[in-house]
Amino acid sequence: MNKVIIIGHSQTTATDVEECLEKSGMNPPRPSRRERLLPKEITRSLCSAYQIPPAGNLTDEADFQQIPADPLWNDLPLDLTLGNVGQGLWGWADTQAIFCLEYWSSFDSKTVFALIYDEPHHSLSESMLYEAAEPDETRLRFLLDNWTAYNGALLRFFLRNPDRCLLANARQILAAPDFFLSELEKLGSSISPSPSSPNIPASSRSMPPMPKTPALQDALAVHTVDPDAAMTSLRAEAAESFILDHVLSDKTACLQMYDELQANAHFPLPAFKPTADRGAAAWLALIAQRRATCATITQLHNERFLLITQLHQLQEEFEKFYLKDKRWQKPVSISRDGRCSEAADRVKQQLSYKVGKTVVEKSRTPGGCLSMPFALAKVISAHRRQLRKSPGKKLQPIQTSADAAEADRIKNQLSYRVGNVLVKHGAKPLSWLKLPFLIHREYRDFHASRNKVSKPTSRPS
């Protein structure tokens, strides 16, 4: 035996088993030598050629027809085998391979099949959890029918080919992957497997974990130092298991199929033994979920209210100093004392430059974005104190300074341009709504101008 194909109804569970067996010594497949195709790509090509729909779209066991072992396609598995010469034990997981069992088995007598299944509770919960669409009763019935039909086809293949298949509950494999690999090797050597793997506790029933998206993790971290504990509360596993038992209680075909899988499996899952206080545990889990949800929503609302308050304060500061800043920048008459070189420093002392520089610097990190309102308020306050020290000071126009070109260059920097937009429109409440779009346009125009190749111009003689 040198090739293992892992097949199960849930692609997520099959992938978990695949990764677990790889850690225990199974090598992943290499691409085929000539076509550079991986096994899953070969399966997809066969299904496309025979117009086979995705396995998740079928609800009748009779629809899971096997693709015929046509000699036309023999080059594909041969090319794959040549690409994996010297690999030792190698294999892959593929839910869609349920249609290609006869195809793979007829080509190579050394190929063995790891047929895996799980409780309908776990598969149903996983499907509902990771689907984007809103769940409803029609979808629930469809998922259960699909699970029953798929596993029925899997079981029929096992009963026809018991000498080349190991039928096992996925959680048993995950509990003892080394032992399971050794049993697969026995199967490939025509030695009967010995189903004596360590059993997981009969009283446990785990549901798939919630997807840990970064946004969800960040939201939970707002109100607790232990996001994992909050995630567990939101999962309400005890309540879900309790409710699913009642949901499946009248799904006779689904439960009968699971019983058949358990009865024929080399490594069945120990029967679940419900405890007397499951109802109380389910209720407590729902209460913990409700409290975690309320705490998260309340904290997020408080954070939003605080941010809006800070933005209003910032708007008031803009309104107070807008006219003062305009008066401070007002050009005056040209001095007769000669040209000075202070234009660049004067531009950097303007509120537009200070505000824009703060926005650009703080926007580089998430923490900086959160502290930006405080930093801007500090900059405006410091600018106000500076204006009080020299309220009526007259200065030369910037254009008459020796470094006027440097001042123009600073005005074309992103910091000054962004700050100028904020100072110009921040004092008007109606214009405040347009600020994000105006700032985005400044960013776009700035980067567009940097990408242009400037052409040298000849100076007049």
| Polymer length in residues for the chain | 461
The whole-number pLDDT of residue 333 equals 37
Q: Vertex 165, ends 162 and 171: CA angle to 5°?
A: 125
pLDDT-above-70 percentage for the chain: 73
Question: Which backbone phi and psi does 398 adopt, to 5 degrees?
Answer: -60, -30
* Terminal CA-CA length for the chain: 88
Q: Which residues contact 50 (CB under 8 A, 6 or more apart)?
A: 67, 99
Q: Report residue 401's pLDDT band, with 50, 70 and 90 as the boundaries.
A: low
C-alpha dist (Å) from residue 371 to 224, 275, 384, 425:
20, 51, 20, 21
pLDDT for residue 6 is more than 90: yes
Distance of CA 275 to CAs 168, 177, 204, 280, 434, Å? 26, 29, 10, 10, 60
For residue 4, CA distances in Å to 21, 26, 79, 125, 407 come to 10, 9, 17, 28, 71
Give the C-alpha separation, 14 to 16, whole Å.
5
Q: Does residue 118 sit in helix, strand or coil? A: coil
Question: What is the torsion angle, in degrees rounded to the nearest 10, for the CA atoms of residue 216, residue 219, residue 222 and residue 224?
Answer: -40
Give pLDDT tens digits for 200-214. 555 556 666 665 566
CA-closest candidate to residue 411, choices 420, 399, 400: 420
Residue type, 188: G
Mean pLDDT computed over 91-99:
94
- What are the structural domains of the chain? 3-206 (3.40.50.300), 306-332+341-450 (no CATH)
Q: Note the pLDDT of residue 115.
A: 95
Q: Write down the pLDDT at residue 336.
A: 44
Q: Distance between CA atoms of 219 and 214, rounded to whole angstroms?
A: 9
Single out the residue of 162, 166, 189 nearest to residue 2, CA to CA.
Answer: 189
pLDDT, tens digit, for every residue of 181-192? 888 887 766 555
What gap in Å lies between CA 217 and CA 227, rounded to an integer?
A: 7
> Is residue 424 within 8 Å of residue 356, measured between CB atoms?
no
State yes or no: pLDDT of 432 exceeds 70: no
pLDDT digits (tens, 9 = 90+) for 124-177: 887 777 666 777 888 888 999 999 999 999 999 999 998 889 999 998 888 888
The chain-wide mean pLDDT, for the chain, equals: 77
Helix H or strand E encompassing 446: helix 435-451
Q: Which of 94, 264, 81, 289 is nearest to 166 (CA)?
A: 264
More confident residue, 174 or 350: 174
User: Is 0.75 topped by the overall pTM?
Assistant: no
Q: Where are the alpha helices (DSSP H) in 32-136?
A: 39-49, 75-83, 101-107, 120-130
Amino acid at 236: A
